[in-house]
Amino acid sequence: MPNELFNSFMTGPDERGRFGNFGGRFVSETLMPLILELEKQYEIAKTDLNFWDEMNELWTNYVGRPSPLYLAKRLTNELGGAKVYMKRDELNHTGAHKINNVLGQIILARRMGKNRIIAETGAGQHGVATATVCAKFGLKCIVYMGAHDVERQAPNVFRMRLLGAEVVPVTSGRGTLKDAMNDALRDWVTNVRDTFYCIGTVAGPHPYPAMVRDFQSIIGKEVKEQMQLNEGRSPDTLIAAIGGGSNAMGLFYPFLDDDDVNIVGVEAGGKGVNQKMEHCASLTGGRAGVLHGNRTYLLQDDDGQILEGFSISAGLDYPGIGPEHAWLHDIGRAKYVSITDEQALEAFQLCCELEGIIPALEPSHALAYVMKIAPKLDKNHIICMNMCGRGDKDIFTVAKHLNFDMSEVC
């Protein structure tokens, strides 16, 4: 494979945490020792069989892994082309892929003797996953959440409180995810000794993007084995939705060196990438810059101020994209596209009606892209999309967009 940096796409990042021009660790001097210690401890844990034994036991008995690989027969027939498989990560405990990664980081935190876990959350999904695992281990959990998001995501705030977490509303800046990330980093510097910062996507300073990817790679590893059993070969095309890019990286990573596997990441196109930032497509509609300790593509204005973006799906609202995706994009190993709110809503409904699966709005974006390309592909072509979350959380949003009056049924 043509790859100037590494002899394999799977050996990145380099020792400075760079994927080509992306990634790295752009952090203050006070944070540097913490980041280096984390990197050292992760490197040790990564090759320790006891660490993976503990992960595997919990993945099996707490999360419910492996998640099934499901052939969506009616959807395949309806689209009339490629065979469509769904990786059912929406069946995980807490309803999405986020817990795969949180478990890894919290087991690592325990090994490092840290008993205070901090996290940032936007829509609240990562906060809920973190609060869940902290409750399971009896750890103190503090979740930073933009004040604006606290208002918008009341059910998730309540879930976190039920799970024993403290939710700190962040009022600095615009009171959204970016501001919550800044406050979490500040907390970490202030409470070095007992605190572990649990990041929810393949972003942040090195080693986070690589570490989160490694934990989420269980998705792709399972797909590889399951597809062998089902079809005797690898899929032709992988498709996943991208907020920060962790579920996508988890599906893609084990296939990066398989030349004949097409890889497609789907960003949230909101009302359309051509209009003024009413989308969350950092790669297809943003520019390179530094945020959250790494260099990557970001939604920003002409002055470099980070913009909030817009999507019907709250989980796709991360204003950047993981640096490894930025790199895979620039070297051409993966392709990135965007899907609008309207297209995602259409896919959402089709999935409910044809497969009896209510998808989250995030994977509905991936599914919409499947709907776009499957009809044009040969019947032997195998697509695997990641159904990374279930849609129970989204039914009120969808009802509003479909002008369905909830009060009429009640």
Ligand X SMILES: *Cc1c(COP(=O)(O)O)cnc(C)c1O
Query: Binding residues for ligand X, per CB under 6 A?
Result: 96, 98, 125, 201, 241-248, 315-316, 360, 362, 388-389
Task: Tell me which residue of 390, 318, 333 sits closest to 86, measured CA to CA.
Answer: 390
Instruction: Count Cα atoms within 13 angstroms, Cβ side, for 69.
Output: 25
* β-bridge mates for residue 335, sequence order: 264
Q: Cβ-count burial of 122 within 10 angstroms (0-12 exposed, 13-18 middle, 19+ buried)?
A: buried
* β-bridge mates for residue 22, sequence order: 19
Compare residues 24 and 265 and give the one whose CB is closer to ligand X: 265
Strand arrangement, sheet containing 335-340: 69-71, 83-87, 382-386, 237-242, 262-270, 335-340
* β-bridge mates for residue 265, sequence order: 240, 336
Q: Which residues of 313-348 are buried (b: 16+ CB within 10 A; e: fewer)?
A: bbbbbbbbbbbbbbbbbebebbebbbbbbebbbbbb
Compare residues 141 and 241 and give the one whose CB is closer to ligand X: 241
Compare residues 203 and 277 and give the one whose CB is closer to ligand X: 203
Is the distance from CB of 220 to CB of 228 less than 8 angstroms? no
Residue least distant from ligand X (Cβ): 389
Q: How many CB atoms lie within 10 A of CB 37?
A: 12
Task: Give the nearest distance from C-beta 133 to ligand X in angstroms.
Answer: 15
Compare residues 12 and 243 and give the one whose CB is closer to ligand X: 243
Compare residues 277 and 366 and give the one whose CB is closer to ligand X: 366
Compare residues 99 and 377 and give the one whose CB is closer to ligand X: 99
The SS3 of residue 239 is strand
Compare residues 222 and 362 and give the one whose CB is closer to ligand X: 362
Task: Give the nearest distance from C-beta 81 to ligand X in angstroms.
Answer: 25
CA distances from 406 to 250, 346, 367 (A): 37, 20, 26
- What is d(CA 183, CA 180) in angstroms, rounded to the nearest whole number? 5
Task: Give the nearest distance from C-beta 244 to ligand X in angstroms.
Answer: 4
Task: Give the nearest distance from C-beta 24 to ligand X in angstroms.
Answer: 19
Task: Give the nearest distance from C-beta 336 to ligand X in angstroms.
Answer: 12
- What is d(CA 163, CA 150) in angstroms, rounded to the nearest whole number? 16
Task: Give the nearest distance from C-beta 178 to ligand X in angstroms.
Answer: 15
Task: Give the nearest distance from C-beta 246 to ligand X in angstroms.
Answer: 3
Task: Give the nearest distance from C-beta 286 to ligand X in angstroms.
Answer: 15
**Token couple for 394:** 């989204």
Compare residues 128 and 277 and give the one whose CB is closer to ligand X: 128
CA distances from 382 to 71, 72, 191, 232 (A): 10, 11, 49, 12
Task: Give the nearest distance from C-beta 204 to ligand X in angstroms.
Answer: 12
Query: Does an H or E element contain 237, and which?
Result: strand 237-242
